[in-house]
Structure 1
Amino acid sequence: MDTMKFDAIIIGTGQAGPSLAGSLAENGYKVAIIEKGQLGGTCVNVGCTPTKAYVASARRAFIAKNSKALGVEVDGTISVNLKVIKERKDKIIADSRSSLDNMFSTNKNITLIPGKARFLNNFEVEVDGKTYKSERFYINVGGKPKIPHGFEGVNYLTNESILELEELPEHLVIVGGGYIGLEFGQMFSRFGSKVTILDRGDQLLKREDPEFGHAIAEIFKAEDIEVRLKSDCIGAKKSGDQIEVTIDCTEGSPTIKGSHVLLAAGRAPNTDDLGLENTDVVLDDKGYIEVNDELQTNAPHIWALGDCNGEGAFTHTAYNDFQIVNSHLFEDKKRLLSDRFTCYAAFIDPPMARVGMNAYDIKKAGIKAKVASRSMSKIARAKEMGETQGMLKIYIEEHTEKILGATFLGTGADEYIHVIIDQMYAGQSYTVIRDAMHIHPTVSELIPTMLENPEKL
């Protein structure tokens, strides 16, 4: 059979892929987009969309059970129906997939090719025995859960398979105290499961300054979620109808049994079976595709976008990858990878949000800085809402007076962190926010106030 040729081939329908396909098609390119699984990639199918639907249900359950202090008493039993929660999640996912399918099927310049792509050389890929050729390739293959050694012999859960459960785990043991482990831990605890979180470090969220990890541990403790730190999980085995996890630890039992085990020990790029060894594309020692400031690989006609390039494992960074590539194709203003500030949130309750540098980063870089801070317990709106857990910290460079970064833990933090993000992109002095008037009563009204007297870091 003859080789089919396209102006551009995109591998993967995650966040960056469909937007790029649409833009290329609009500009007259004949585009193929290849997908080995469900349309939408991680975010739509097993990431943001389903997990935030579960987080919403978990928060409703928590509020129903914990509103007595605000004068709201609920008579009777509050029960959680995981099957209904799953059905709602599945409907939201199906709607998103349908929208993408419609986009591809109605655009005459886009051809959707189901199946797994593998590079034959720098300019050809094979899918189910058929060869496709192009002068431009955009790799957007995402990532997958890491499976630690020692767990191969048990029926473990991942962030993907746990979303298929229709009955609540009696006791969910979570290996890993990062963002995924914390989100699932809190949501299933609020659903009614007993939850134990095991983490090898001496704090939760090891990338954050210690006070935030410790504060989150206290929040979880108040919700009867067991957190065991300095607990390196060696492996697991079946023990009757339970799973027994073996732990290398200095305190507590060296084993723990649970009805279910969730592995949340990080993610890895889906690059190991793409046939990249047949191309000039270079991988780093963790399997991520190395890219330059324009997201080009070592092969200048091949770009890598999304989680597989190691430049951010988030939906928003993947979409920004599309914006970077698209700007060099069709826009006057060219965007660069180095333009963006790292920002993300842990969607626990209350959420933790972060942009730019934290205290550890600043001290390591030897930058003279100031810090503005405020406890959520001193913010009027937080008191009125009955949600006073957490703290706000903003870091300012002494010499330039520009904001270096911020970490917020508190109700609504995932939204008002954007006050800081936008200011950082504006490149203005922190005094612009300090002198601004914000609406009362809000949490963000305290951001100007807390910037009035920053202290030396």
Structure 2
Amino acid sequence: MQKFDAIVIGSGQGGNPLAKKLEEKGWKTAIIEQRYAGGTCINDGCTPTKAMIACAKVAHTVFHSKDWGVHSHGFMVDLPFIVARKNNIVTEFRGGTIKGLQSNNVSIFMGTAVFTGHKTIKVTGHKGEENILTADHIFINTGATPFIPPIPGLADVPYLTSTTLLDEVTIPKELIILGGSYIALEMGQLYQRLGSHVTVIESASQLVSKEDADVAAVIKKMLESENMQIHTGTQVTHISRNGKKISVDITTGEDKDTITGTHILIATGRTPQTAALQLQQTNVLTDEKGFIQVNDKLETSEPGIYALGDVKGGPAFTHISYNDHLIIYKNLFENANTGIKDRQVPYCMFTDPQLGRIGITEKEARKEGIPFKIACLSMDKVARAIETGQTRGFMKALVHEHTNKILGAAVIGTEGGEIMSILQMAMLGGITATQIREMVFAHPLYAESLNNLFMTLEKPAP
């Protein structure tokens, strides 16, 4: 048995920096990784998808270049090159992760971690070798994996996930996507632009169901303008394979139909990777979906064991996982007494144009009884957007009726995430809508449109 001061299970965007900082503080630290260093973000999520989305945007721009007075004479999409480019970037990032851990003298164990006691872990390597580790402090950062819904017939069909689709080197001719949230829409637009005919099937009444209805409607219109087929309020009742085709039986209200395609992508959410850990050997509690339950300081029900990142549920974003490690570290070494309850949760959906989001939505404000006003500006009223020919989308901000402080914002537009980040900092600093309306921004940035956004403030919402 090897004794450590700390063990980190999973080398994601929370586990890696935490392991390095613990080692720097003099704690003998081990990190266990079952698959690839870097976690979902580097290997299956942010890095590979955004690398490929960049290629798809180029294809889309070339295809529509005549809109800018530039006439191209045909082009081809080289998907093997795009995938290889993506893989090179992923490999570079993954290598940097390993190098960073090694340079900080963190002990790295590649294999599957299983609890054999409250603070004891058996690691089984890829060749069957076993190591028994123990530590007073254990940090679980095992993340999540695509959720596969129990749809009749699905198990008999060669379906794809957001992980496996990225390695396809042949463009799917007809791609059916189950799910209508962030991953589904990013992947759908990506492959539509590369040459697929994409159909999205969402069971909820709107796309991105957590967003306001007007935001979802703009996104739906935006994707349909690129010839994506969108079905909302639609249930999948059965899936089957007929030769080289996949058939999906659907029901929308009283209407029934069958959609066929060459490929099917399952993007119906993610499930925590906790089953293999055998947490029943500890006092760590999970909810009914398997997510580890934590308190405001990311402590589990077992003293000395923490959970960070997607495995604990809540906002499943890389930057949240990274912030989790900061909270744990500051509480352990700086007596910071910080928690996750009141932190900001910004996020961006990397469709083109982007959706940048911060703070509460209109429906959340109404539910909580918060008095607010709405500022709204279409991107076709933004000078920079008109000049660049990127006028799809709109900006929407909620402003407190009495304090004039910003409560939340949704920005659909080119560099929507960057514009959102300005509003995020304004919210953190208590800057009011009036101050932003009168602020001097360099002309003609997209940011300058914030002046005009807050000139549109409506009367208090009824």
Q: Specify the TM-score bucket, using the shorter chain as the normaliser.
A: over 0.9
The one-letter code matched in structure 1 to 2:50 is: K
Matched, 1:193 2:183: no
Q: 2:303 & 2:435 partners in 1: Cα distance?
A: 42
The one-letter code matched in structure 2 to 1:156 is: Y
Matched, 1:397 2:404: no
Q: 1:364 & 1:440 partners in 2: Cα distance?
A: 38
Partner of 2:118: 122
Structure 1 residue 312: Cα displacement = 1.6
Structure 1 residue 453: Cα displacement = 4.7
Partner of 1:295: 298
Structure 1 residue 253: Cα displacement = 5.2
Structure 1 residue 216: Cα displacement = 1.3
- Offset from partner CA, 1:162-188 (integer Å, 9 cap, x none): 011011011000011111110111010
Q: 2:303 & 2:146 partners in 1: Cα distance?
A: 29
Q: What SS class does the counterpart of residue 235 from structure 1 fall into?
A: strand
Q: 1:330 & 1:364 partners in 2: Cα distance?
A: 39
Structure 1 residue 123: Cα displacement = 1.1
Partner of 1:45: 43
Partner of 1:226: 229
Unmatched tracts of structure 2, length 5 or more:
125-129
Partner of 2:127: none
Which of 66, 70, 95 lines up with 1:72 in the alignment?
70
Matched, 1:56 2:59: no
Which of 109, 113, 116 lines up with 2:109 in the alignment?
113
Q: What SS class does the counterpart of residue 338 from structure 1 fall into?
A: coil
Which of 21, 24, 41 lines up with 2:22 in the alignment?
24
Which of 72, 82, 91 lines up with 1:94 in the alignment?
91
Structure 1 residue 339: Cα displacement = 3.3
Partner of 1:133: 134
Structure 1 residue 114: Cα displacement = 0.9
Bigger Cα displacement from structure 2, 24-33 vs 270-279: 270-279
The one-letter code matched in structure 1 to 2:441 is: H
- Offset from partner CA, 1:330-387 (integer Å, 9 cap, x none): 3364432123122211110111111110110000001111111111111111111111
Partner of 2:219: 216
Q: 2:441 & 2:228 partners in 1: Cα distance?
A: 36
Matched, 1:407 2:410: yes
Matched, 1:359 2:362: yes
TM-aligned CA distance change 1:251 to 1:84, over 3 Å: farther
Structure 1 residue 328: Cα displacement = 1.1
Contact 1:231 1:248 in 2 (8 A): yes
Bigger Cα displacement from structure 2, 39-48 vs 227-236: 227-236
Contact 1:174 1:263 in 2 (8 A): yes
Matched, 1:245 2:248: yes
The one-letter code matched in structure 1 to 2:136 is: E
Contact 1:323 1:335 in 2 (8 A): no
Bigger Cα displacement from structure 2, 388-397 vs 124-133: 124-133
Contact 1:149 1:235 in 2 (8 A): no
Q: 1:124 & 1:400 partners in 2: Cα distance?
A: 52
Q: Percent identity?
A: 38
Matched, 1:346 2:349: yes
Q: 1:31 & 1:20 partners in 2: Cα distance?
A: 10
Q: 2:387 & 2:103 partners in 1: Cα distance?
A: 50
Partner of 1:272: 275
Q: 2:13 & 2:237 partners in 1: Cα distance?
A: 35
Contact 2:419 2:447 in 1 (8 A): yes
Q: What SS class does the counterpart of residue 404 from structure 1 fall into?
A: strand
Q: 1:318 & 1:130 partners in 2: Cα distance?
A: 27
Unmatched tracts of structure 1, length 5 or more:
none
Matches within 5 A, 1:373-384: 373-384=376-387
Contact 1:149 1:234 in 2 (8 A): no
Matched, 1:144 2:140: no
Q: 2:148 & 2:117 partners in 1: Cα distance?
A: 30
Partner of 1:329: 332
State the number of aligned residues: 453
Bigger Cα displacement from structure 2, 335-344 vs 9-18: 335-344
TM-score where L is the length of structure 1: 0.96
Which of 258, 264, 283 lines up with 1:255 in the alignment?
258
The one-letter code matched in structure 2 to 1:51 is: T
Contact 1:178 1:205 in 2 (8 A): yes
Q: What SS class does the counterpart of residue 452 from structure 1 fall into?
A: helix
Q: 1:311 & 1:22 partners in 2: Cα distance?
A: 25
